[in-house]
Amino acid sequence: MTRLGGWGRFPLAECNVVTARSEADVRAAIEAAPLIARGNGRAYGDAALNTDQTLDMTGMDRMLSFNDGVLVAEAGVLLGDIIHTFLPRGWFPWVTPGTKYVSLGGAIAADVHGKNHHLDGSFRSCVDWIDLMGPDGTVTRVTPSDDLYDWTIGGMGLTGVILRAQIRLRQVETAWISQETRALTSVQETLDAFEETQDVPYSVAWIDCSDGPHHGHSLLLLGRHARADELPGHWRPLEVRRKGKLPVPFGAPPFIFRGLWLRAMNGIYWRRGAKRAGTSLVNWDSYFYPLDALANWNRLYGRNGFLQFQCALPEETAAAGLKELMDTIAAAQTGSVLSVLKRFGPQSGHVSFPMPGYTLALDFPANERSLALMQTLDQITLAHGGRFYLAKDARMPEAVAKADPRAKAFAAMRKQAGLTEKFTSLQSERLGL
């Protein structure tokens, strides 16, 4: 038994971890006991925890073929491996979340999104097919014309074990991003800027949810892949270096999550960003994965771990919903140094998280106060017709998840297909999926 958690290290559970290195290993595991497949453990909560059997897929990390941007790979391959292999040849993932340490299987199961969701959709946009092992051990190649595809992408591993998939990469001229930073001073200004920049491939804003003079201040980071002719002549456009990671050996002192300090930090960050506003060239790694530079940044929150809150709000109610969420967070005087705001494009699939509108994400130290605050945030989100991201969730009550009719449909589908007995996680049990 291994004491295991998600990236937020809350909750922790004693899990029987079994490593899969081949299709036969997966089949044997499915026969043996109920399970959930686990990739690189980057879901924040309990989505990849099963006490009976947690199937570690990182041993299945083979890349099987690559032709003209089309990659077939096993589920345990990390996005970072894909980048290190193919960016030097001029290819980059079609969609990437904020860490490159996610597995391919995990990216599909959570249907992750990136800074380009408003234009390019979620991870599913690049998935041609998935080899899925069902409850009886048979392997089905699931394609976009199958109903199972729509349940599997975003289905948190609850439709079977994703063995391998074919994905498409995007051709790029350089490993650099041309970034424009705008310093804005209110939520409405930020939303207006998002609407006005819908044709820019990548956009994300860091917004200040703290209580104080900087509340609502934001830095909007816009980006697109730089062309070769935009780089200084002596640069090698596709050079990719493996950067070292700075370890985070211990937790930060708890005072940094309290009001005054938070306010000060956010103010400094915003003023620094505002000073540097304008256009610059940023390395792919720093642009897409700023936090990956710290090996275990999740340890910053100390031994109790942390909770992430991420909701999506529909277009019509986003402005009002965001205001209420941010005011509530500010009044609570807890939470992360910064929160992330992002425009979403159209929705796809049966269970995927994104919906047209906006998504807000921020983290909190795992404690009673945060849990109480998040229940309030749940209700505000629901009142505005929003929904929640299962890859971040560690504590939602079943009733909140089931307020989304898709959750009930998913539970019914799973029951009918005989998936409920075989594929379960602590999260699926908690949410009654």
Partner 1 sequence: MSGPVLILGATSGMARAVARSFAEAGHPIQLAARDINRLDDDAADLRTRYGVDVTLHAFDALATGTHAAFFEGLDLPQIAICAVGAMGDQDQSAADPLGAAMVIRSNFEGPASILAHLANAMEARGSGTLVGISSVAGDRGRASNYVYGSAKAGFTAFLSGLRNRLARRGVHVVTVLPGFVRTAMTDGMDLPGPLTADPEEVGAAILKAVEKQKNIIYTRPIWRVVMAVIRNIPEPIFKKTSL
Measured from the CB of residue 72, what is the shortest distance to partner 1 in angstroms? 8
Q: List beta partners, residue 180.
A: 222, 279
> Which CB sits closer to partner 1, 85 or 347?
85
d(CA 429, CA 228): 50
Residues 6+ apart with CB under 8 A from 408: 402
Measured from the CB of residue 7, what is the shortest distance to partner 1 in angstroms? 19
Measured from the CB of residue 367, what is the shortest distance to partner 1 in angstroms? 28
Measured from the CB of residue 64, what is the shortest distance to partner 1 in angstroms? 5
Number of neighbours of residue 89 by Cβ within 10 angstroms: 12
Task: Compose the 82-111 pattern: x for residues touching partner 1 by CB under 8 A, - for all others.
Answer: ---x--------------------------
Q: Look at residues 171, 142, 165 and name the one whose alpha carbon lies nearest to residue 64.
A: 165
Indicate whether 62 belongs to the interface with partner 1 (CB under 8 A).
yes
d(CA 135, CA 35): 10
Which of these segments, 45-53, 64-72, 223-231, 232-240, binds partner 1 (CB under 8 A)? 64-72
Label the pairing between strands 36-38 and 54-56: parallel
d(CA 302, CA 295): 14
Token representation of residue 431 = 């949410």
d(CA 428, CA 327): 31
Measured from the CB of residue 56, what is the shortest distance to partner 1 in angstroms? 10
Task: Compose the 9-48 pattern: x for residues touching partner 1 by CB under 8 A, - for all others.
Answer: ---------xx-xx--------------------------
> Which CB sits closer to partner 1, 71 or 112?
71
Measured from the CB of residue 256, what is the shortest distance to partner 1 in angstroms? 28
Which of these segments, 70-78, 143-151, 291-299, 392-400, binds partner 1 (CB under 8 A)? 70-78
d(CA 430, CA 119): 34
Residues 6+ apart with CB under 8 A from 44: 6, 7, 8, 307, 308, 391, 392, 393, 394
**Contact in structure between 343 and 358 (CB atoms under 8 Å):** yes
> Which CB sits closer to partner 1, 85 or 304?
85
d(CA 432, CA 411): 7
Indicate whether 51 belongs to the interface with partner 1 (CB under 8 A).
no
Indicate whether 369 belongs to the interface with partner 1 (CB under 8 A).
no
Measured from the CB of residue 323, what is the shortest distance to partner 1 in angstroms? 47
> Which CB sits closer to partner 1, 63 or 200?
63
Measured from the CB of residue 65, what is the shortest distance to partner 1 in angstroms? 6
> Which CB sits closer to partner 1, 303 or 369?
303
Indicate whether 63 belongs to the interface with partner 1 (CB under 8 A).
yes
Helix (H) and strand (E) counts in the chain: 13, 19
Indicate whether 64 belongs to the interface with partner 1 (CB under 8 A).
yes
> Which CB sits closer to partner 1, 65 or 145?
65
Number of residues that bind partner 1 (CB under 8 A): 15
Polymer length of the chain: 433
> Which CB sits closer to partner 1, 52 or 195?
52
Spacing of C-alpha 180 from chain mean position: 23
Which of these segments, 56-64, 225-233, 253-261, 381-389, binds partner 1 (CB under 8 A)? 56-64
> Which CB sits closer to partner 1, 73 or 340?
73
CA distances from 360 to 11, 187, 263, 345 (A): 22, 12, 19, 14
d(CA 52, CA 45): 17
Q: Look at residues 85, 76, 69 and name the one whose alpha carbon lies nearest to residue 108.
A: 76
> Which CB sits closer to partner 1, 91 or 176?
91
Binding partner 1 by CB under 8 A: which of 10, 45, 74, 87?
Answer: 74
Binding partner 1 by CB under 8 A: which of 59, 90, 144, 201?
Answer: 59
Number of neighbours of residue 255 by Cβ within 10 angstroms: 10
d(CA 207, CA 218): 4
Indicate whether 286 belongs to the interface with partner 1 (CB under 8 A).
no
Indicate whether 66 belongs to the interface with partner 1 (CB under 8 A).
yes
Residues within the interface to partner 1 (CB under 8 A): 18-19, 21-22, 59, 62-66, 71, 73-74, 81, 85
